[in-house]
Structure 1
């Protein structure tokens, strides 16, 4: 099972790295067939706050992944207007789980992958997503079939939980949410996280 996290220059660290940490928990628990990769058009990318990381895979390999999560960033508008990058993004919601957070939702909208379904994004990206003809709803998470969107940096936990629930089952999603939740707030955090996604499973 391979999950690719699309990460471009100017990326929001919370979007890509919270999901990377939560989803990678499965590998740490001993599942050798589970892989999570940072996917970028270049070998290295630098975040909006100056953190530079190495990509694990390129965009072509990301298109073959079982699930793809499009993170957010300050340069997503530039990415959406870069034909050389966008032409490489060939996803199939009939075969793959697709998830997007904040301005990542704009990428999926630009690729025509959201259809007529409502979608979630952050307040900054909302006008772009609406201009792409998508109905933006005022909530943290929404899924339609194999495509899910979320709004707000900390909603990465909901996308991660949804992916885990779809790929490994709801108990695994609960266990991972519980592990990462603040001490003293674990039960409430798990309940809140699962409440966001259970209606869409």
Structure 2
């Protein structure tokens, strides 16, 4: 029987569609291997930064049970980072879970104490806040150390998804999923570029 990999994509009001939906779409390409990526957050619905309202598939606390937790970014992440009552509902454990963050989601990792002394990636707007939180910010699209990864730039969400696929399903499965979604005529180069960026952090 195929072991399931539950993936919580934390999504809050004002979320960036590229962060949440790219990861959701890429990771669910591996449903036949037991992957189950779902949007997770407080309340029943959230509205994106561009006014798209979606129904959340899981409550916020479900992230505490998932094998993988990915934090997206959004317009209100700084306020969320200061909301202790909300963040206290998250009891994440990098010893048992893979934890990743995208852009301003990196600030939430810092507030939750999940980065430790790791350097991190984030977007240019969020960088001063992450530095203020005591984190060394890298000028890179993706970085991982052990079970914690961060990415900077909206389209860097594909690196987070690739990281999860490599660790949880292996390179052959990751390559197949990336090949499927890549632009026609660029499929092999596209998949290889993503894997080449992430592989050093997996090996």
- TM-score interval, normalised by the smaller of the two chains: over 0.9
The Cα shift of 1:172 comes to 1.2
- Rounded Cα–Cα distance in structure 1 between residues aligned with 2:90 and 2:135: 19
CA distance in structure 2 between the partners assigned to 1:182 and 1:26 by the alignment: 19
Q: Does 1:100 align with 2:101?
A: yes
Q: Which residue of 6, 17, 22 corresponds with 1:2? A: 6
Equivalences, count: 198
2:89 counterpart residue number:
88
Q: Which residue of 2 aligns with 1:20?
A: 24
Which runs of structure 1 show a deviation greater than 3 angstroms over 4 or more consecutive aligned residues? none
Q: Retained in 1: the 8 A contact 2:159–2:194?
A: yes
State the alpha-carbon separation in 1 of the partners of residues 133 and 38 from structure 2: 28
Distance 1:88 1:115 in 2: 20
| Bigger mean CA deviation after superposition, 136-145 or 168-177 | 168-177
TM-score norm. by structure 1 comes to: 0.96
Equivalent pair of 2:99/2:147 in contact (CA under 8 Å) = yes
Q: What's the counterpart of residue 36 of structure 2? A: 35
Equivalent residue runs for 1:65-76 within 5 Å: 65-76=66-77
- Secondary structure of residue in 1 paired with 2:149: strand
Q: Name 2:175's counterpart in structure 1.
A: 174
For 1:165, what is the secondary structure of its paired residue? helix
- 1-structure distance, mates of 2:179, 2:35: 20
Report the Cα distance in structure 2 between the residues aligned to 1:168 and 1:7, rounded to whole angstroms: 24
The RMSD of aligned alpha carbons is 0.9
CA distance, structure 1, for counterparts of residue 126 and residue 183 of structure 2: 29
Q: Counterparts of 2:133 and 2:91 in 1: how far apart (Å)?
A: 18
**2:185 paired residue number:** 184
Separation (CA, whole Å) in 1 of partners of 2:142 and 2:177: 18
Give the Å deviation of 1:36.
1.1
Give ranges in structure 2 of 5+ residues lacking alignment. Answer: none
- Residue segments in structure 1 that go unaligned for 5+ positions in a row: none
Aligned to 1:55: 56
Question: Normalised by the size of structure 2, how large is the TM-score?
Answer: 0.95
Q: CA deviation at 1:46?
A: 0.2
1:34: how far off? 2.6
